[in-house]
Structure 1
Amino acid sequence: MNWLPFLISGSFCQLFMVVEVPHHCDTSWILAVGPNLTEEEQLNLTLPRGPDGHFEQCSMFSPVDWDLDSILAYGLNHTEKCSSGWVYPSEQPPSLLTEFDLVCDRKDLNDIAQAIYMAGLLLGSMIFGPLSDRIGRRPVVLISVFLQGLFGLGIAFVPHFYVYMAFRCVVGASVSGITMTLLALATEWIGVSSRPNAVLTSHCCFAIGQMILAGLSYGIRNWRLLEIAGSALIFAFFFCMGLPMDCKWKKSWTWASFSCSDSLSFCVLKLKPEKEVKSGSFLDLFRKKHLLKVTLIMSCAWFVNSFVYYGLSLNVTNFGLDIYLTQLAFGAVEIPARFACIFTLQRFGRRKTQAVLLVLSGLVCLIITGIPEDQPVATTVLATIGKFAASASFSTSYVYAAELFPTVVRQTGVGLCSVSARVAGILAPLVRLLGQHHRAIPMAVFGSAPVLGGLLCILLPETCGTDLADDTGDGHPPAQVGAGAASAVGTWAASAGGAPWMCWGFL
């Protein structure tokens, strides 16, 4: 399995494109009557000062048609919002904030753009989930990677911010197609004993991608060049990536014969159909009682997990420490979080792991609400712990959901859970806007939801050590399996779309 597309996902690159910089209203109008004014004199005459003694960033004195002597004698008293744009430090590299004026009344566009990107993830879940069940996993992955690279490159040349948001929406949809479909391939091709390892490896690549992003953003401060660099990596992955054949879930198969040729270094696996498996549909997720419970609770778990994960991730600019170091720490902490899952999922099972991690991530956010604003180190440490728990919980959700849903509706079920997660991703940046009323409100919301979701997970069945269910007819968890090799063969055989089926590879 090739996890390279996970390295550059584009989920958090906007964080480094909208870094806060000093700014003030453009008051160059006064230079028409006082061309010899210094910058300090110009600002003293045209900008009001706030309670802290600094110039206001979003208001200015109203322009007048007086001469300079009258302005100096009487001063300016009436204020208004910036009407001629803003002025930024000349040494500041081009960023989304400076190029599209994402300040003052336009400041909320930053979070709205993040929400639109998350809406793209939702759109991708709705499109690529069912599509991969119809045309196969491999074509969907290749299409998604190509779209991500193409529109990511297009973002570097957009002339308007609204075009930027539209392109980011397409990138989000392609990212969703990649993550969901590679998950399905990993689950369907690998046996029970290695199933969590394969999925969690993909998530480790995602964490490494966050660290790479922090390094790229630190070295490339021009946002357009940063987009070009990231898109170039995506295109490199597109041409270098190798994927296995797709799985066609139409029939269940049993062994007929197995032969190997040492001289040619390949094997031929001949299978024969054992029984017809009735195909499933989206409605089966709600028509059957046991699937309804799984669908509702897992959708809720994915929702709250995504809610707290993105709530913490998108807040790196507000924790008070260097944004590049914070992002590096956030990416680094995900790697041990993913590997810790490999142990906890096998030792304690899926249900307990999911519930405990969700509750822990929520409690950390609730504790952050009580940390004073002048304690950025304590806040960042707690946020890192919360990111650890949320990341581990997210990996658990992928493994758990893939095992709970039967084969014939697995991708549809996981897609529905992903839709739920994407809705939470859309809401997360919008909830951050509540911080305008009180800084503790967003973290209180982000903390309460996963605690409730974690408690609901206790009602789910345990799937640790069980084989994948083929159809929707059984109301109980799949039976325990024997050796990992037998499970792998069973999963492999069940994925075949015809017989004989040839698998080429080194022995």
Structure 2
Amino acid sequence: MKEEQNSNLSFGPEASRSTHQHETSLPSHSWSLEMLLRRLRAIEVKRDDKLASVLDAVGEFGTFQWRLVALTFIPYVLLSFFMFSDSFVLTSQRPYCNTSWILKVGPNLSVAEQLNLTLPRAPNGSFLTCLMYIPVPWDLDSIVHFGLNYTETCRYGWIYPYAKRRSLINEFDLVCGNEPNKENMQTVFLAGVLTGSLFFGFLSDKIGRYPVFLMSMAGLLVFGFGTAFVNTFYQYLFFRFTAAQAAVGYVISSVSLVMEWLVDEHRAHAIILQHCFLALGIIFLSGAATRVFHWRLVFLLAGAPMFPIISNIWVVRESPRWLMVKGKVDKVKKVLCYAAEVNKMDIPLNLLNELQVSGKKVKKVSILDFYTNQHLLKVVLVMACVWFVISYIYFTMNLKLKDCGIETYLRQIIPGILEVPARLYCILLLENLGRKCSLFVNLILSTISCFFLLFLPQELKSTKLLMLVLGHFNMAASVTVLFIYTCELLPTVLRSTGLGMVSLASSAGAITALAVYNHIKTQLPIFFCCLSCIVALCFSSLVPETGNQPFRDSIEYSSSNQRESIDSKRKSQDVAPEMLTEESMSDIRIDQVAKNTILNAMPLTFAVDQVAKDTIFNEMPLKSEESGFSDTDLKEPSNAGEEPSPDP
């Protein structure tokens, strides 16, 4: 029996030589089979995830998922208005002292004549903006004949006779020593992101994704839309700080909610689309903010669509995974049945009955588990370092656009235009390379761009601009890959808290980039970018690959996950015999022709190690007998639609 089977499969020295020839001529087959083996390993893990089976029965991407995605993605366009509008509402205006006192003696004076009589001039002939002549009780003819000689600072405020738009500058007279520092304003916003990420991340794991989702949308509506009605500049800063907290809370809760409702590759596609919508929002902001005549209209345009969006919040349901880890099985069944009803699908009753809490009591977790659990501690520290590095490089490259003479409008719209193809480019990378390799590729390309920027002379501004554009493109792709990677590495029970903690590192990286750029005017910031890219590459190699793996719900999986990463070679070889079992074939739902294709492709992978190959296929008859396969099953069938006959 064994000899006949081995002869049918054509294993031996001659087959080995032919196998090596096929490997040389068709290397892509080995890569494709490796991807298939990885997906089969994911299926084996998914078999124990009862909730994933129910989600498959609900429908991978039906009407319910479409409504969920649409309702959570549209606010991302508006989110860019709340997050990046500071550069457009702080347009510079040329102020002059308010000298309307002279109109009492000369009511028919034009603006030019008024300025000429009441304002001193600079050596170049222009009017001084922060000084005025001291008013005198003379008539107009005396003022014109003798002129005014003594100056003082602006006593009655300022006027902006040549301003075309109403900005914060001329709204709150932020001139002549009262000018706001744009970097400090960005720091205030980033401080809001920093505090909001930790608070809302913890709250999302504590009370649920859906309540935090509602709270953050309400916060954007109140403090984002309400920014248009502030009366002082300090009120504006407070509303921006609070809107930043709501914005990061919305990002964390919506990401967790969407990814835990979707399955397989739809999760990665959802994050990519979210980031594409955010980039489109930056483009819309750049176009709208330069055309509106009043800064308050920017926030009115962003806040008005929030009313119809929040009125349709009833179509969203709580994450079933979060409900499951909290032991709320009845609510899990209720939300799953609602989703299945919307998708017009039926969930088998036996699948719903299998949804039970593992263990007698739900284990409580806290933020301290990131310290006591070694695997979680390693994951959070590694990903926080990578988030810090990518945020630092991203903001440094954006700030470096100033050195190339790019105005504010282009500094916003160029990254926005680049980020849409950068996010879509991630789909191709993730499907072919996985999470870790995709991150490696983008970081390596960013390192190359930084090295070019470091050594290019100042005269080659166009070449430096090209390198900045390419570096920004790779950084945008890195952000998307890292977001997906981080969500999949963290367990459901602490996913939002972990996202909040890495967002702290991201905010710290942005603040560091602002501080370094403002205090160091040499090439040191770019040198730090090169060094940081290398550090990020080293750190990202310490975490395991997560592509096509189901979500982990609890923190107890960490030790087994570490063993899997250590024994990955041995486990990849163990998958080959399992591919021949009828149960594996039914899980991946392929027909008999696909089975024979896998069998024909197997020598391409296992011919590298002759000893390992002989060991595997000497054990194959035993596996076949247990599965119900015979030697005739391993031959190519005459009719692909016929089922293999059992071994007599």
- For the criterion TM > 0.5, the same-fold answer is yes
1:221 deviates by 3.2
Task: Report what 2:442 is aligned to.
Answer: 357
For the Cα contact (< 8 Å) 1:151–1:168, is it kept in 2? yes
**1:397 partner amino acid:** L
Aligned counterpart, 1:466: 549
1:94 aligned onto 2:166 = yes
Question: Is 1:236 the equivalent of 2:308?
Answer: yes
Counting matched residue pairs gives 478
Q: Which amino acid aligns with 1:384?
A: V
Equivalent-residue separation in structure 2 for 1:471 and 1:60 (angstroms): 67
The whole-number CA distance in structure 1 between the counterparts of 2:530 and 2:158 is 37
Return closer, same or farther for 1:41/1:222 CA change in 2, 3 Å cut-off: closer
Distance of 2:394 and 2:434 partners within structure 1: 22
Distance in structure 2 (CA, Å) of the matches to 1:66 and 1:285? 74
Answer with 314-323 or 219-228: which moved more. 314-323
Between the aligned partners of 1:393 and 1:130, the Cα distance in structure 2 is: 25
| Contact 1:366–1:447 (8 Å) recurs in 2 | yes
Per the alignment, do residues 180 and 28 of structure 1 end up closer, same or farther by CA in structure 2, a change over 3 Å counting?
same
Query: Residue 125 of structure 1 corresponds to which residue in structure 2?
Result: 197
Indicate how the Cα distance of structure 1 residues 349 and 87 shifts in structure 2: closer, same or farther if over 3 A, else same: same
Q: Which moved more, 1:450-459 or 1:185-194?
A: 450-459
The answer as to 2:368 corresponding to 1:283 is: yes
Which of 561, 573, 593 in structure 2 is aligned with 1:477?
561
> C-alpha displacement at 1:383, in angstroms?
3.4
**Rg larger for:** 2
**Distance in 2 between residues matched to 1:85 and 1:441, nearest whole Å:** 42
Which of 347, 355, 358 matches 1:267?
Answer: 347
Residues 85 and 394 (structure 1), Cα distance of their counterparts in 2 relative to 1, 3 Å cut? farther
| Structure-2 change in CA distance of 1:320 and 1:470 (3 Å) | same
Alignment partner for residue 189 of structure 1, among 236, 252, 261?
A: 261
Q: Alpha carbons of 1:376 and 1:168: their partners in 2 closer, same or farther (altered >3 Å)?
A: farther
Map Cα deviations across residues 190-230 of structure 1 (whole Å, 9 max, x no partner).
22333211211111111111112122213323111111111
Amino acid at match of 1:146: A
- Pairwise CA distance, 1:155: 0.8
Pairwise CA distance, 1:425: 3.7
Deviation at 1:74, TM superposition (A): 10
Residues 1:219 and 2:274 aligned together = no
Residue range with higher mean Cα deviation, 199-208 or 381-390: 381-390
Aligned to 1:147: 219
Q: Pick closer, same or farther for the CA change 1:33–1:185 going to 2, 3 Å.
A: closer
Instruction: Report the Cα distance in structure 2 between the residues aligned to 1:28 and 1:372, rounded to whole angstroms.
Output: 49
Distance 1:447 1:49 in 2: 45
Matched, 1:245 2:325: no
Measure, in 1, the Cα distance between the counterparts of 2:533 and 2:102: 56
Partner of 1:385: 470
SS of aligned partner of 1:267 = coil
Query: 1:5, 1:178 within 8 Å by CA — same for their partners in 2?
Result: no
AA at the equivalent of 1:267? I
User: Residues 65-108 of structure 1, C-alpha deviation per residue, up to 9 Å, x if partnerless?
Assistant: 79898999899698x87676554343421111222234464434
Superposition deviation, residue 455 in structure 1: 3.8
SS of 1:424's equivalent in the other structure is helix
Does structure 1 residue 412 correspond to structure 2 residue 412?
no
Within the candidate set 153, 159, 179, 1:107 is matched to: 179
Matched, 1:28 2:99: yes
Query: CA distance change for structure 1 residues 123 and 261 in 2, over 3 Å: closer, same or farther?
Result: closer
Structure 1 SS opposite 2:347 = strand
Q: Distance in 2 between matches of 1:309 and 1:155?
A: 27
- Please give the per-residue CA displacement for 1:357-413, whole angstroms capped at 9, x wherever unaligned: 345446646755777888775555443323222211111111111122223222221
Does residue 1:457 correspond to 2:540, yes or no? yes
Query: CA contact under 8 A between 1:27 and 1:46: conserved in structure 2?
Result: no
Aligned twin of 2:46: none
Query: Which secondary structure does the structure 1 equivalent of 2:280 belong to?
Result: helix
Bigger strand share? 1
Flag the 1:251–1:154 CA change in 2: closer, same or farther, 3 A. closer
Q: 1:204–1:111: structure 2 CA closer, same or farther, 3 Å change rule?
A: same
Gaps of 5+ in 1: 488-507
Give me the whole-angstrom Cα distance separating, in 2, the residues matched to 1:470 and 1:73: 85
Tell me the equivalent position of 1:504: none
Where do 1:167-206 residues align within 5 Å?
Answer: 167-206=239-278
SS in 2 for 1:90: coil
Mean Cα displacement is larger for which, 154-163 or 62-71?
A: 62-71
Q: Distance in 1 between matches of 2:510 and 2:288?
A: 24
**1:300 CA drift (Å):** 1.5
* Distance in 2 (alpha carbons) for counterparts of 1:446 and 1:102: 34
Query: Could you say what secondary structure the match of 1:133 adopts?
Result: helix
1:493 matched residue in structure 2: none
Distance 1:319 1:390 in 2: 19
Deviation by residue 1:419-441 (Cα, 9 ceiling, x = unmatched): 2212334444455543xx73867
Q: Describe the superposition over 1:272-315 as per-residue Cα deviations: whole angstroms up to 9, x where unpaired.
A: 32623644321221223332222112111112222333444567
What is the percent sequence identity of the aligned residues?
27
2: distance between equivalents of 1:6 and 1:30? 50
Question: Which amino acid letter does the alignment assign opposite residue 196 of structure 2?
Answer: G
> In 2, distance between residues paired with 1:405 and 1:263?
29
**1:162 Cα deviation after fit:** 0.4
Give the corresponding residue for 2:521.
438
* TM-score (normalizing by structure 1): 0.79
Q: Is the 8 A contact 1:252 1:273 kept in 2?
A: no
Of the three residues 335, 348, 373, the one matched with 2:420 is 335
Q: Which amino acid aligns with 1:236?
A: P
Structure 2 unaligned segments of length 5 or more: list them: 1-67, 565-571, 589-648
Secondary structure of 2:202's aligned partner? helix
How much has 1:464 moved relative to structure 2?
Answer: 2.4
Q: Which residue of 2 aligns with 1:306?
A: 391
Change (3 A) 1:263 1:303: closer
Equivalent position of 2:608 in the other structure: none
> SS at the partner of 1:475?
helix
CA deviation string 1:256-280 (max 9, x = no partner): 9x99999975435513326236443
Q: 1:343 to 1:121 in 2, by over 3 A?
A: same
| CA offset digits 1:36-80 (Å, max 9, x no partner) | 697379469844547xx47487654785979898999899698x8
Change (3 A) 1:378 1:286: same
Contact 1:24 1:56 in 2 (8 A): no
2:185–2:237 contact (8 Å) kept in structure 1:
yes
SS, match of residue 469 in structure 1 = coil
Bigger fraction of residues in helix? 2
Local SS of the residue matching 2:355: strand
Pick one of 479, 482, 491 that aligns with 1:394: 479
Q: CA RMSD in A?
A: 4.2
1:7 aligns with 2:77: yes
- Separation in structure 2 between the aligned mates of residue 332 and residue 63 of structure 1, nearest angstrom: 52
Once the two structures are superposed, residues 307-333 of structure 1 have per-residue CA deviations (whole angstroms, 9 ceiling, x without a partner) of: 333444567677534544543332121
